[in-house]
């Protein structure tokens, strides 16, 4: 009997995989066939939902004059009721698509989102962020026709320091590149710091509370917790993304990048 | 029903807090679960049984966490009193726990009361505390059933924030079921994840103060062992109903590599098929999640190894006689250091468990004397 159940289970999972593959293929085919119209339609569904609006505004990056696009995106951003202060992009894909990610980052900043974080659970972006940065600067120029990033400013916060606090103030948008080390490992490091203080009798264990820990884990006082995290990739999990900071974060878990862009 | 009238009808949910009404029905559900006929096996109908057996052919979650949400929306949708929504909600909890047992899921964690909810009015909070007390008393009356089915109840949270009499009842329930090991129900009460993490750090600092561990012994694994949930494995699956897509300060550390399933169904309308759907999602994500978890564990081990090496190098520098040691002696020193660190940590965890057990036992003896 167990063998029968196992067989049925295998069949069920094969059917599910086929179903998923067909849906993916179908979406991509439709998009390519009538690219502009379908991508607008799809994004008009997903992104307003992501930004929690009741009205479904069309805020898709569409081909057109680059200057027009910049003003249109900016205007779109202003016309929306509420923008998240901090968006996180959680890339759970095996092979991240740099161009697509860069597109999304540039779009977020053009719409007026102050903080954008990019995270992958292998720490690839953190270890080698030059490729991502180059791609972002390239997309900024291509999509928004900005020479030397006059209007938008991209700052890289890898580790919070006072110097970076000053740089942040002069920028319109801030990009943070994160890895799993910024999650649990940061909390452990903060714990070690507090325990060392206790060892040296600078503190007692009773002095440790949520506020103390929170102040240690905040990169800078002005950086808000992520309001919204968009997850791209086949895994339905946060994969270690900033456990301390995501207490009230809304999650949009999508499997496919291509349908969004 | 008289108890409900104590709670004002305009209880609203703030972002980040579990609705008061939800907690009420959770507590009711917890006790109803044990009064209910979940004891009757074979409650699943034929089709459900078949589906359960098919699902069980694949990997099954061993520990599922629920954020049950949507009772008031359900009540509005059905144009009934909010009380009716809660009543349906707690019936649903009892039913879901039974389905979990039928699916061989032996550990369930539910979110009952958030620390954020203490900010509500005194009347509301007092009303809830009174209700919780009555439910735990009722639970204790079912002790025989609990023993028969090997149910272990744990309450996770900062119990010192609760009224003393409630603490005592909770302590009695937990101590009475401590040795049971067939299935585990974790109720998060006076809980938020941030408080849990801060408390774990405080406990480690206590260990340092007591001279049981050094600050260099602090690691991700040790922090995990100091959480309220230290006796449970991390949840494999986290389910939130009613379409909300937030974690609301629930098990943030423990669910970093769990399968997250957000379902739009309202909690009182939750069905066996919704649960199967969630488990199916878990099965589809099982391999990549396992891979991510293994990779994380490997990195953790590497970091620990590096930390040990750094400590040994430091020690040798300070206590050595200046002559560089050969590779073999260094390796020996490293092994010795790791062994002594592990022993220190075990002793510390033993002391911590003893402290927690004593806290509960003291409460029960206070209750007995009273």
Which tens digit of pLDDT belongs to each residue from A82-135?
Answer: 788 999 999 988 888 888 888 888 888 888 888 999 999 888 888 887 888 888
pLDDT-based confidence at residue A165 (cuts at 50, 70, 90) = very low
pLDDT in tens, B113-128: 899 888 888 887 887 7
Of A192, A238, A247, the CB nearest to B249: A247
Of A199, A235, A250, the CB nearest to B215: A199
Across residues B326-350, what is the average pLDDT?
92
- Which CA distances in Å does B177 have to A186, A247, B228, B231? 37, 31, 17, 14
DSSP B282-317: HHHHHHHHHHHHHHHHHHHHHHHHHHHHHHHHHHHH
What pLDDT is stored for residue B367 in this prediction?
77
Q: With contacts defined as CB-CB under 8 Å, which chain B residues touch A191?
A: 200-201, 204, 218, 223
**CB pair distance less than 8 Å for A205 and B206:** yes
The answer, yes or no, to whether residue B344 has pLDDT greater than 80, is yes
State percent of chain B over pLDDT 70. Answer: 86
What pLDDT is stored for residue A96 in this prediction?
83
Give this prediction's pTM. 0.84
CA-wise closest residue to B226 among B188, B253, B199, B251: B199
Q: Which of residues 305-344 of B touch A (CB under 8 A)?
A: none
Computed from CA positions of residues B29, B32, B34, B40, in that sequence, does the dihedral angle turn out positive or negative?
negative
What pLDDT is stored for residue B235 in this prediction?
97
Asked whether B155 and B175 are in contact (CB, 8 A), the reply is no
Q: With contacts defined as CB-CB under 8 Å, which chain A residues touch B279?
A: none
- Which CA distances in Å does B174 have to B93, B180, B195, B229, B361? 20, 10, 21, 14, 10
CB B73: neighbour CB atoms within 10 A? 16
CA-wise closest residue to B184 among B254, B251, B238, B106: B106
ipTM of the complex: 0.85
A187 touches chain B (CB under 8 A): yes
The answer, yes or no, to whether residue B324 has pLDDT greater than 90, is no
CB pairs under 8 A between A and B: 154
> How near does any CA of chain B get to the CA of A240, in Å?
5
| Helix-helix angle A66-79:A129-144, to 10 degrees | 100
Residues of B identified as active-site? 69, 86, 185
Q: Closest chain B residue to A231 measured between Cα atoms?
A: B260
What pLDDT is stored for residue B298 in this prediction?
94
Which residue is it, tokens 């997309």?
Answer: A139
Find the DSSP H helices in chain A: 2-33, 35-50, 66-79, 98-111, 124-127, 129-144, 162-169, 184-199, 210-217
Please give the residue that has the higher pLDDT: either B33 or A99.
A99
Q: How far apart are CA B206 and CA B227, in angstroms?
A: 14
Which residue is it, tokens 């609990």?
Answer: B146
Query: Pairing between strand B151-156 and B259-262?
Result: unpaired
| Helix-helix angle A184-199:B193-209, to 10 degrees | 30
> How near does any CA of chain B get to the CA of A185, in Å?
7
Q: Which of residues 126-145 of B touch A (CB under 8 A)?
A: none
The answer, yes or no, to whether residue B340 has pLDDT greater than 90, is yes
pLDDT in tens, B58-92: 999 999 999 988 888 898 999 988 767 767 777 78
Asked whether B108 and B184 are in contact (CB, 8 A), the reply is yes
Across residues A65-69, what is the average pLDDT?
54
pLDDT in tens, B121-171: 888 788 778 877 887 887 788 788 788 888 899 999 999 999 999 999 999
pLDDT in tens, B226-242: 999 999 999 999 999 99
What pLDDT is stored for residue B320 in this prediction?
64
**CB pair distance less than 8 Å for A187 and B54:** no
Reading the block at residue B46, the tokens are 């034929």
């Amino acid at each position: 009997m167990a063998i029968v159940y196992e067989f049925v289970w295998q069949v069920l999972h094969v059917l599910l995989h086929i179903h998923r593959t067909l849906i993916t293929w179908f979406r991509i085919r439709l998009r390519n066939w009538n690219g502009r119209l379908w991508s607008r339609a799809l994004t008009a569904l997903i992104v307003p939902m992501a930004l929690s609006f009741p009205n479904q505004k069309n805020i898709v990056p569409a081909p057109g004059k680059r200057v027009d696009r910049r003003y249109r995106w900016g205007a779109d951003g202003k016309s929306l009721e509420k923008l998240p202060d901090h968006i996180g992009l959680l890339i759970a894909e095996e092979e991240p698509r740099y161009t697509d990610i860069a597109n999304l980052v540039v779009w977020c900043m053009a719409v007026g989102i102050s903080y954008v974080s990019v995270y992958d659970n292998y720490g690839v972006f953190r270890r080698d962020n030059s490729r991502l940065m180059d791609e972002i600067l390239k997309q900024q120029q291509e999509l928004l026709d900005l020479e030397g990033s006059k209007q938008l400013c991209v700052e890289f916060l890898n580790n919070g320091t006072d110097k970076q606090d000053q740089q942040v103030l002069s920028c319109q948008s801030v990009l943070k590149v994160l890895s799993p080390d910024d999650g649990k490992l940061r909390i452990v490091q903060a714990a070690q710091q507090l325990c060392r203080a206790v060892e040296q009798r600078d503190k007692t264990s009773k002095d440790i509370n949520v506020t103390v820990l929170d102040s240690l884990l905040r990169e800078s006082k002005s950086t808000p917790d992520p309001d919204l995290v968009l997850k791209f990739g086949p895994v339905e999990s946060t994969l270690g993304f900033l456990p301390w900071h995501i207490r009230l974060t809304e999650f949009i878990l999508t499997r496919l990048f291509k349908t969004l862009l | 029903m008289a108890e409900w009238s104590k709670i004002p009808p305009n209880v609203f949910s703030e972002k980040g807090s579990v609705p008061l009404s939800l907690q009420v029905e959770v507590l009711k559900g917890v006790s109803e679960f044990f009064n209910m006929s979940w004891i009757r096996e074979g409650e699943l109908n034929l089709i459900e049984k078949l589906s359960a057996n098919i699902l069980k052919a694949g990997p099954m979650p061993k520990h599922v966490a629920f954020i049950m949400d949507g009772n008031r929306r359900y009540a509005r949708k059905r144009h009934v009193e909010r009380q009716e929504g809660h009543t349906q909600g707690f019936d649903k909890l009892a039913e879901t726990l039974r389905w979990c047992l039928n699916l061989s899921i032996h550990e369930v964690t539910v979110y009952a009361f958030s620390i954020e909810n203490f900010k509500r009015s005194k009347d509301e909070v007092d009303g809830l505390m009174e209700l919780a007390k009555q439910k735990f008393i009722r639970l204790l009356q079912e002790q025989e059933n609990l023993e028969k089915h090997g149910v272990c109840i744990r309450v996770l949270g900062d119990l010192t924030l609760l009224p003393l009499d409630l603490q005592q009842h909770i302590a009695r329930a937990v101590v009475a079921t401590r040795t049971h090991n067939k299935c585990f129900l974790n109720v998060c009460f006076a809980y938020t994840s941030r408080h849990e993490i801060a408390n774990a750090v405080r406990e480690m600092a206590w260990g340092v103060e007591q001279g049981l561990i050094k600050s260099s012994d602090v690691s991700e694994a040790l922090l995990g062992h100091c959480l309220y949930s230290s006796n449970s494995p991390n949840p494999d699956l986290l389910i939130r109903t009613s379409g909300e897509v937030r974690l609301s300060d629930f098990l943030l550390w423990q669910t970093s590599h769990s399968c997250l399933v957000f379902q739009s169904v309202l909690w009182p309308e939750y069905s066996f098929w919704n649960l199967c759907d969630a488990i199916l999602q878990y099965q589809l994500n099982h391999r990549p999640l396992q891979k991510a978890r293994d990779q994380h564990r490997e990195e953790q081990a590497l970091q620990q190894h590096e930390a040990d090496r750094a400590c040994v190098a430091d020690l040798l520098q300070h206590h050595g006689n200046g002559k560089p040691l050969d590779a073999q002696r260094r390796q020996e020193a490293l092994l010795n250091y790791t062994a002594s660190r592990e022993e220190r940590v075990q002793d510390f965890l033993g002391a911590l468990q003893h402290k927690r057990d004593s806290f509960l036992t003291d409460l029960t003896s206070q209750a007995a004397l009273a």
